[in-house]
Every structure is written in structure tokens, then in C-alpha cells.
Amino acid sequence: MTPKEIIRLEHLGLRYSDDRFIFFDITCSINAGEFYFLTGKSGAGKTSLLKILYKDIQPTLGFVHVFGYSIGELSRSDLPVFRQHIGLIFQDCRLIPTLSIVDNVALSIHIGGSQYRRSCSYAKELLDWVGLGDCLNSLPDALSDGQKQRVAIARAVVKRPALLLADEPTGNLDNENAFRLMALFQELHKMGTTVVLATHNNELVKGFQYPQLILKDGSLFVNDNGFIKKKA
Amino acid sequence: MYSFFRRTIPVGSVQNSRSLSLIFSVLIFLLSFVATCVFLFSQGFHKWERGNSYKVTVEIPVDLQSINNQEQITNKVMQELNSMPEVLKIQRVDPEKLKAMLTLWAGDKGISNTDLHVPVLLDVEFNSSNQIDIENIKQKLRQISMDINIENHNTWAQKLVVFGKSLKLVTMVIGSFILLCTIIIVILVTKSALQAYYSTLDILRLLGAKNAYIARIFQNQILKSSFYGGICGVCLSIPTVYAFVIVLKYLGLEGLTWSTMLWHITIVVIGVPIIVAFIGVLVSRITVHVHLRLLDKKTSI
Ligand SMILES: Nc1ncnc2c1ncn2[C@@H]1O[C@H](COP(=O)(O)OP(=O)(O)OP(=O)(O)O)[C@@H](O)[C@H]1O
Ligand SMILES: [Mg+2]
């Protein structure tokens, strides 16, 4: 793993309880500061790949290195600090239903050791930016799916992570809002964050000049300016 | 901060947030009462044990032949006792008092003050630092007169002390049982919240929350509940305990001066909620850590 590499996958394979491999023998690396779209048909394994990266599941085969750490060897006590450096946006948002949206966002930095009040003021600022300034104290259940997604994005972005793993962050948003939030990711990317963004939205992919990782038939390809080749 | 934690994972009854405080207040009230009992019993019986161990009553019976003879024997006995180094104080029980006591059951008319002969009673107090050999003293006094008798208070006092000690032990067992109940309640409340808010727990961990952070969510709420419970418990226990102390004082079972005792009991009553809060926080912390470790083992990540 070179110093520039932030993610390195070696002969990665994943199989759930059945015999079928979701993906097999993926070897590739992503450098610090890069921005990738992750695409593929539904069920291709995008979410599963991201889950392996933040160590929610273990791969069946191969090795994963993130931030220079071999994920398999990462102990349970090291895991929280490792995850504090990753911004996660889940496909199903996963907001805490008993917390207001401002607290949901503040929680993300409070966990990292920031004071509650300061966390709240950052959270408010960001929620204002994503257009949720007037429902700061609403509970997630009172929001539309699109609004929830914006909260989830704010929660991942507010801690300025070194790596952002976003799983369909704009899945429930109209294109106008999706493009507006892409600006947020771009801003974060300019500040040095590495971004991997799984999406189905082709317009979004085409609207930005970022390379595309494609999960297809259990392998990972890269589409860089129209050239599709196996990612290494 | 507390309310933030409470909203993240509410510990205790979800419908009624005060129920945990209520349980704490009852437990703290009971514990304060029991602790006061243990304290008072140990003080009171200690005094009895100390106070009665070193006292005897020497009885010189009525000598029907000669009243002077009884006086002579009494003088000799007092001389003999005075010569003993372990004897601290000798006090002759006032014959008028004895007669008055007899009047109670014999009636005024049954006793003519002039012709009634009563035994002479001597209250003898020994120096507590010496080992007292009652038998030896009895032997010596019986050389003066064979009829002299020694009433040793120690025998029945000892029984009372044994009774007191077992009472104290029983109270301590009850106290330990209440404390055990507190621990069990904290464990159950913590575990049920951990299970009911499983998905929140999962999100917290994905966001990078350390086990200590999650434990703090619980500790914080247990501390708050025990604080409110403690205030209610103290408010309940102070009048009860003080009333109890006044009753015991009236019965003569106190071992300390009034002010020292109130001071000691106030410390006990205030100390109990602090100890309960400390134990509650510690138990919830351990429960969360154990739960999370077991979860890790199950998911094997
Ligand atoms: N916990 C699981 N147990 C068994 N099979 C699973 C599990 N999670 C996912 N799968 C299977 O793995 C495959 C990949 O799922 P995954 O969610 O990674 O796909 P995806 O590319 O994210 O799809 P989508 O675009 O619909 O979100 C699917 O066939 C799915 O059924
Ligand atoms: Mg998915």
C-alpha cells in the first residue's frame, strides 16, 4: 500500500450464506483525495462493498486496507476511532428516531469528543444549508424521505471525514436537490476528503466529471472518460 | 447533556420516565431506615454490653437474730470490697427505696416501717480494664458470712447482647437484600433498554461511538434517577428515622449523646443515597460493557 492509497482491496470476494459470490477477486486501490461514483445494477453488491469498507461485514475472501490499516486485523477497541474518520450515508438513512434532526447531526461530532453545544451549532449551520433550517427540532418520523436523506447527508458531512462512503445519498431527491447536495460533496472533496458515492442516478454521474466504478457480474470495472477497464 | 442522552436511549420505563426515580426513592428510603437500625442497634447494645459487664449487686440477707449483726457484716463486706483493686465504686441501695418498692406489692398496711427488715443491697462497679473473677470475690465474701449472695447482671445482659447482635445481623441481611434488589433492578432496566433500542445502538456504533460513550448514556440517566430518587428517599426517611430514634431514646436504647447521635444519623441518611447512586452507576456501566462485549462475540467482527 503506497502512502497515497486510502483504500486497497486485494482479491476481495463476498458470499452470503448461499453459494453464489456477490463479487469475486476484486483487486483495486483508491488514492487519497479521489472522488468515485460506484454504480451497478440493483443487487450488484454496492452496499455490500461499502459495508466491507467500514467493517460492518467481513469479506469471504481477500484483504481490505483502509487508512493503511488491515481491516481484518482491526480490533474491536480500534474500530470506533477508525469509524470516526469515515462519513457514512446509509441507503436507509438510519436516523435515530428519538432524537430531533439537529441532535441527530450533532451526535455525529459529539461522539468524536466535541462539546454538545458546539456540535449543535455546527449541526444547525449545516442543516440550514441543506434547507432544513425551519424544522431543526422535528423528529425524523415527521420528515419526508428526501428530507431524511438530507439529514443523513448533513450527519456524515458535519464531521469533515477523511473518507466519505455514501450509499445512494440522493436516491429520494429530485434532480434539483440532488445537484445541490452534490455541491456539498464537491466542497468536501476539495477540502481533501476521499469520496465513494454509490448511485443509480445516471444524470448525476453524467453531470460530473468524476470516474465511475462499476460493479458488474461480480467484478469491478472503472469507466474513466468513456474507457471501461477492469479496475486495479 | 442529560436530556440529550435520555432522548438517544431512554433508560427505564419508556411511558413513565419517573418510574425509575420512584423505585430508587423507595429503595433508598428502606436502606436508610435499615442502615439507621443497624447503627442504633450496634450503639445501643454496645452500651449495654459495656455498661452491665462490670456491675454486680451484693446481697446481705436479713439477719433475724440481730439487726446490728447485719450492719457489722455490711461494714466488713464493704471493707473487703474496698481492699480489692478491681473495685471502682460501691453504693449501698437506700433502704427507704427498697421499702418503697416492697410497699408496691405488700401494700401500705402490710408493712410497718419500723419492724420491716430488708436485705442490704450493695451496687458494686468494677474497673473495666481488669478481668473480674466473680467466683473468687464470692468466696472471699462468704468467709464473712455464708448467706451473702452476688447477683451478676452480666448473665442476662449477655443474653440481651446476643439478642441485639442477632437483631443487628438480621437487619444487615435485610439491608444487603435491598441493595441486591437495587443492583438487579439497575441490571434489568439497563438490559431492557439495550435490547429495546438495539437499532439505535447499532447506529451509534457505526458512527464510531466507543463502548464508554454508550455506557455514559446509561450511567448519566441512572445517576439522574438515583439523584431524584435520593432526594425523595431522604425526604421520606428523615422524619421516619428521627421518629424512630426518638422512640428508641425514650426506651433508653441509645448509646450516644443526643446531638452526636443526630449528627451520626444524618450522615447515614445522606450517605445511603450517595452509595446507592455510586453502585447504580457502576452496575449500569458494567452491564453495558458486558452486553457490548457479548454482542461483539456474537457478530464476530
Ligand atoms: N444480509 C444479507 N444476507 C444475504 N444476502 C444478502 C444480504 N445483504 C445483501 N444480500 C444479497 O447480496 C446482493 C447484493 O446486495 P446489495 O445490497 O449489496 O446490492 P446493491 O448493489 O446495494 O443493490 P441496490 O442498488 O438495490 O441497493 C443481493 O443479491 C442481496 O440479495
Ligand atoms: Mg444498496
Number of residues written out for chain A = 232
> Interhelix angle for B154-196 vs B258-299, to 10°?
40
Interface test with B, best of A52, A111, A120, A158 (most B CBs within 10 A): A111
- Cell 439497563 maps to which residue? B190
Check whether residue B198 and residue B288 sit in a common domain: yes
Q: Are strands A21-31 and A5-15 parallel, antiparallel or unpaired?
A: antiparallel
Give the closest of B4, B197, B207 to A116, CB-based.
B4
Check whether residue A119 and residue A13 sit in a common domain: no
Q: Which of A160, A179, A204 is the last residue of a domain?
A: A160
Check whether residue B185 and residue B143 sit in a common domain: no
Check whether residue B167 and residue B287 sit in a common domain: yes
Check whether residue B99 and residue B163 sit in a common domain: no
CB A202 within 8 A of CB A8: no
Q: Mean pLDDT of residues grouped by 10 in chain A (232 residues)?
A: 82 89 90 93 93 93 93 89 95 93 94 91 92 92 91 93 94 85 89 93 88 91 71 67
The letter for the amino acid at A33 is G
pLDDT tens digits for range B173-196:
998 999 999 999 999 999 998 998
Q: Which of B124, B147, B170 is the last residue of a domain?
A: B147
Instruction: Give a yes or no: residue B83 inside a domain.
Output: yes
Instruction: Give a yes or no: residue B56 inside a domain.
Output: no
| Band (B50; pLDDT cuts 50, 70, 90) | low
Instruction: Give a yes or no: residue B55 inside a domain.
Output: no
Which residue, among B180, B171, B225, B177, has the nearest Cα to B33 in the 3D structure?
B171
CB A39 within 8 A of CB A198: yes
List the residue whose alpha carbon is closest to atom 16 of ligand 1: A45
- How many domains is chain B partitioned into structurally? 2
Check whether residue B227 and residue B294 sit in a common domain: yes
Check whether residue A143 and residue A165 sit in a common domain: no
Predicted local confidence at residue B15, as pLDDT: 47
Check whether residue A142 and residue A113 sit in a common domain: yes
Helix, coil or strand: residue A59: coil
Nearest ligand to the CA atom of A199: 1
pLDDT tens digits for range A93-122:
999 999 999 999 999 999 999 899 999 999
Nearest ligand to the CA atom of A213: 1
Cell of B229: 430518587
Closest Cα in chain A to B295: A76
Instruction: Give a yes or no: residue B57 inside a domain.
Output: no
Kindly state the average pLDDT of the residues B99-113: 65
Give the closest of B9, B208, B300 to A81, CB-based.
B208
Check whether residue B190 and residue B263 sit in a common domain: yes
CA B91 to ligand 1 centroid distance, Å = 98
| Band (B53; pLDDT cuts 50, 70, 90) | low
Nearest ligand to the CA atom of A21: 1
Check whether residue B165 and residue B227 sit in a common domain: yes
Question: Does B133 contact A at CB distance below 8 Å?
Answer: no
Q: Which of B81, B112, B147 is the last residue of a domain?
A: B147
Q: How remote is the C-alpha of A188 from its chain's centroid?
A: 12
Predicted local confidence at residue A81, as pLDDT: 93
Check whether residue A32 and residue A104 sit in a common domain: no
Check whether residue A80 and residue A102 sit in a common domain: no
List the residue whose alpha carbon is closest to atom 31 of ligand 1: A43
Check whether residue A170 and residue A156 sit in a common domain: no
Helix, coil or strand: residue A95: coil
pLDDT tens digits for range B273-295:
999 999 999 999 999 999 999 98
Interface test with B, best of A51, A57, A83 (most B CBs within 10 A): A83
Check whether residue A185 and residue A217 sit in a common domain: yes
Instruction: Give a yes or no: residue B79 inside a domain.
Output: yes
CB neighbour list of residue A76: distance below 8 Å, 6 or more residues apart:
B296, B301
Beta bridge pairs of residue B151: B57
List the residue whose alpha carbon is closest to atom 17 of ligand 1: A47
Predicted local confidence at residue B254, as pLDDT: 52
Q: Which domain holds residue A151?
A: 90-160
Q: Which domain holds residue B92?
A: 62-147
Check whether residue B233 and residue B183 sit in a common domain: yes
Instruction: Give a yes or no: residue B271 inside a domain.
Output: yes
Check whether residue B239 and residue B127 sit in a common domain: no
- How many domains is chain A partitioned into structurally? 2
pLDDT tens digits for range B241-274:
888 878 877 766 555 567 777 788 888 888 999 9
Predicted local confidence at residue B2, as pLDDT: 65
Q: Which of B147, B182, B215 is the last residue of a domain?
A: B147
CA atoms in the 13 A half-sphere facing the CB of A46: 27
Which chain A residues touch B10 with a CB distance below 8 Å? 98
> Mean pLDDT: which of B67-81, B122-136, B150-164 is highest?
B67-81
Check whether residue B127 and residue B227 sit in a common domain: no
CB contact under 8 A, B8 and A96: yes
CB A55 within 8 A of CB A31: no
Among A139-153, B9-23, B30-44, B153-167, which is the least confidently predicted range?
Answer: B9-23
CA atoms in the 13 A half-sphere facing the CB of A203: 9
Distance between CA atoms of residues B43 and B32, nearest Å: 16
Check whether residue A134 and residue A20 sit in a common domain: no
Instruction: Give a yes or no: residue B186 inside a domain.
Output: yes
Q: Which of A105, A139, A160 is the last residue of a domain?
A: A160
Residues with CB under 6 A from ligand 1: A 16-17, 22, 40, 42-48, 91
CB neighbour list of residue A21: distance below 8 Å, 6 or more residues apart:
A13, A14, A15, A60, A218
Check whether residue A15 and residue A38 sit in a common domain: yes
- Cell 461499502 maps to which residue? A50
B147 phi/psi in degrees, rounded to 5: -85, -5
CB A191 within 8 A of CB A202: no
B197 phi/psi in degrees, rounded to 5: -110, 40
Kindly state the average pLDDT of the residues B165-175: 87
CB contact under 8 A, B203 and A100: no
Check whether residue A116 and residue A141 sit in a common domain: yes
List the residue whose alpha carbon is closest to atom 28 of ligand 1: A43
Distance between CA atoms of residues A92 and B36, nearest Å: 56
Count the neighbouring beta carbons within 10 Å of the beta carbon of residue B285: 19
- The whole-model pTM stands at 0.79
| Band (B47; pLDDT cuts 50, 70, 90) | low
Running DSSP on this structure, what letter comes out for residue A134? G
Check whether residue B70 and residue B209 sit in a common domain: no
* Chain B nearest C-alpha distance from A74 (Å): 9
CB contact under 8 A, A111 and B204: yes
Q: Which of A160, A182, A214 is the last residue of a domain?
A: A160
CB contact under 8 A, B208 and A84: yes
Which residue, among B33, B43, B41, has the nearest Cα to B242 in the 3D structure?
B33
Give the closest of B200, B208, B211 to A83, CB-based.
B208
Predicted local confidence at residue B51, as pLDDT: 56
Beta bridge pairs of residue A167: A198
Running DSSP on this structure, what letter comes out for residue B229? H
Which chain B residues touch A55 with a CB distance below 8 Å? 301
Check whether residue B92 and residue B193 sit in a common domain: no
What per-residue string of b and e applies to A165-187 under the rule 16 or more CB within 10 Å gives b? bbbbbbbbbeeebbbbbbebbee
Check whether residue A216 and residue A137 sit in a common domain: no
CB contact under 8 A, B301 and A57: yes
The letter for the amino acid at A102 is V
- Cell 490499516 maps to which residue? A69
Cell of B287: 452491564
Among A115-124, B43-52, B93-102, B120-129, which is the least confidently predicted range?
Answer: B43-52
CATH of the domain at A207: 3.40.50.300
Mean pLDDT of chain B: 81
Q: Are strands A61-66 and B87-92 parallel, antiparallel or unpaired?
A: unpaired
Check whether residue A31 and residue A68 sit in a common domain: yes
